[in-house]
Amino acid sequence: MKDPIASEWRRRFDELLPLFGHRNWIVVADSAYPTQSRPGIETVVTDEDQLYVVQMVRDAIAAFGHVRANIYVDSELGFVPENDAPGVADYRRNLDAALYGLGVKCMLHEQIIAKVDQSGEVFRIFVIKTKMTIPYTSVFFELDCGYWNAEAEVRLRQAMLASVPG
C-alpha cells in the first residue's frame, strides 16, 4: 500500500512544477525547517529520504524545458562535524554526487532563508519537509527561466537602449 503522506507531496509537486517559473522556489528541507508564515509559502511533509527527494526534484526540473534551477546549500553544512551529527560526512558526499555539475552555490543559512522569505512576498514557494535529522541539510532550488539566460537578457536590454533616439 502506498504511503499517503509520500503520495500527497508528490501529487502537489506534480501540480505545481508546470505552473512554476523563474523566481519560484522549491525547498527540500530537513525535519527542523520552520514553517514560514508568508501566505505564498506552502509546506508539505514527507517521510521519504531527503536525498531521494532532492534527486527527484532535480530530475523533474531537468525534464521541464521552461525552468532550470539555481541551487543553494547552507555554507554551515561544510563545517558540521561528524561527532556532533553522525552521518553528515556520508550525506555531504552523497549530496555532492547528486548535485555534481549543477553549479551549487553555498550561502549562509540565514541569507538563504531571507531570499526565500523575500521571494515569498510576491512568488510562490513550495517546501517539502523530509525526515532528515542532520542540521543544515536543506537544499534550495531557485527556479529560473529554462530557455533564457542572464547574458541574453543583457543583450536584449542593450539593444533596447541602443534603439532609443538620443
Beta bridge partner(s), residue 71:
141
| Grid cell 517546501 in the structure block, residue | 127
Mean pLDDT, rounded, of the chain: 92
pLDDT at 29 over 50: yes
Residue 18's CATH number: 3.40.1650.10
pLDDT exceeding 70 applies to what percent of the chain?
96
With cut-offs at 50, 70 and 90, classify the pLDDT of residue 1: very low
pLDDT of residue 165: 81
List, in order, residues 6 or more apart from 104 with CB less than 8 Å away.
71, 72, 73
Q: Give the pLDDT of residue 149.
A: 86
Query: The whole model's pTM is what?
Result: 0.91
pLDDT tens digits, one per residue of 33-65: 988 888 889 999 999 999 999 999 999 999 998
The total domain count for the chain is 1
- CA separation for the pair 166, 159 (Å, rounded): 14
Dump pLDDT digits (tens) for 97-108: 999 999 999 999
pLDDT band at 4 (very low <50, low <70, confident <90, very high): low
Q: Name the residue range of residue 114's domain.
A: 4-163
At 35 the pLDDT is 87
At 153-162, the pLDDT tens digits run 999 999 999 9
Assign 150 a pLDDT band (cuts: 50, 70, 90).
confident
